[in-house]
């Protein structure tokens, strides 16, 4: 049997365990480990970033196949500017290149692409490609791909706080009107439901300033696989694991034979 066939069989076996009715609608991913993956192979870190793009394409394809509706990926954080200039420049060029190469197909598949983050420091060329890609795909309905670039969760929250402070001080809104719903409506992710599942690759157990507000009740799955080695099989594993979780949102599991009235504290 060819390697491709063996992989297909492995994926098929796993996808049979997947509950199609319980696939998360929105999955967020911290695509981590590109640099370490390349370094371990004796290659420059940039090879890892290049390979990471192919993995994203594969995961996007699988997400659509499974019926997931939104993917939000962390591509460049507000803290990633502290990396060597050469790596930062490489990443910026890669974003432009990949976007120019892929936009046609994304559009044909009715995928809407949205960039989340402060785009101001990026070069004009990248900003132009981003804005034309966003406007080309803005009415697409099948799938939403959010790419977080120069994104930081704390910065996003501070921005919203400032905006609301300004509105209250000018009298546009009352202090009593400030609530979670209003806050939500000012976020960069406004209108998009919170991710049910966050996947981080490379084994790191932190969220590194990603979607601090939005991840409040997301299920977290840490994969030890480096992003360039992540694939359909690992992605299915993450979703199956998610499906076994008991999401309580601060409540309790409903117990079959006991109601609150029956309990010893009710009398």
Q: Compare residues 33 and 195 and give the one whose CB is closer to ligand IPE.
A: 33
Q: Which residue has the tokens 């390349």?
A: 38
CA torsion sign for 95, 152, 73, 225 is positive
Of 11, 80, 140, 209, which residue is the catalytic one? 80
Binding mask 29-58 for Mg ion (x = CB under 5 A): ---x--------------------------
CA torsion sign for 153, 218, 99, 137 is negative
Pick from 147, 214, 191, 196: nearest CA to 26: 196
Q: Shortest approach of ligand IPE to residue 59 CB, angstroms?
A: 14
Q: Does 74 bind ligand IPE (CB under 6 A)?
A: yes
Which of Mg ion, ligand IPE, none is residue 218 near (CB under 5 to 8 Å by kind)?
none
Q: Does 219 bind Mg ion (CB under 5 A)?
A: no
Q: Compare residues 109 and 118 and give the one whose CB is closer to ligand IPE.
A: 118
- Return all residues near 137 (Cβ < 8 A) that are at least 6 apart: 103, 106, 107, 111, 112, 113
Which of ligand IPE, Mg ion, none is residue 194 near (CB under 5 to 8 Å by kind)?
none
Tokens of 247: 């999401």
Site for ligand IPE in 7-66 (CB under 6 A): 30-36
Pick from 70, 74, 42: nearest CA to 208: 74
Site for ligand IPE in 87-126 (CB under 6 A): 91
Site for ligand IPE in 208-227 (CB under 6 A): 208
Is 80 a residue of the active site? yes
Q: Shortest approach of Mg ion to residue 190 CB, angstroms?
A: 28
Is 8 a residue of the active site? no
Give CA–CA dist 64/144, Å, rounded. 10
Pick from 48, 139, 134: nearest CA to 99: 134
Chain residues binding ligand IPE by CB under 6 A are 30-36, 74-77, 80, 91, 202, 204, 206, 208
Residue positions annotated with a catalytic role: 32, 80
């Amino acid at each position: 049997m060819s390697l491709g066939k063996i992989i297909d069989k492995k994926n098929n076996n796993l996808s049979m365990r997947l509950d199609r009715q319980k696939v998360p609608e929105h999955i967020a991913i911290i695509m981590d480990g590109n640099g370490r993956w390349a370094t371990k192979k004796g290659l420059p870190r940039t090879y890892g970033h290049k390979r990471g793009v192919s993995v994203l394409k594969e995961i996007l394809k699988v997400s659509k196949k499974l019926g997931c509706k939104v993917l939000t990926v962390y591509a460049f954080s507000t803290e990633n500017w502290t990396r060597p200039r050469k790596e930062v420049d490489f990443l910026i060029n890669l974003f432009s290149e990949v976007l120019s190469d892929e936009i046609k197909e994304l559009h044909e598949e009715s995928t809407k692409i949205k960039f989340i983050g402060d785009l101001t420091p990026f070069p004009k060329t990248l900003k132009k490609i981003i804005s034309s890609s966003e406007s080309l795909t803005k009415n697409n309905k099948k799938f939403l791909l959010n790419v977080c670039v120069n994104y930081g969760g704390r910065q996003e929250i501070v921005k919203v706080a400032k905006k609301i402070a300004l509105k209250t001080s000018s009298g546009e809104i009352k202090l009593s009107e400030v609530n979670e719903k209003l806050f939500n409506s000012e976020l960069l992710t406004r209108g998009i439901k919170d991710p049910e599942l966050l996947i981080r690759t490379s084994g790191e157990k932190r969220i590194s300033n990603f979607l601090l507000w939005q991840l409040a009740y997301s299920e977290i799955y840490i994969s030890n696989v480096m992003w360039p080695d992540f694939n359909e099989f690992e992605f299915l594993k993450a979703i199956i694991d998610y499906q076994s979780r008991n999401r309580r949102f601060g409540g309790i599991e409903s117990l079959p034979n006991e109601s609150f009235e029956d309990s010893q504290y009710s009398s």
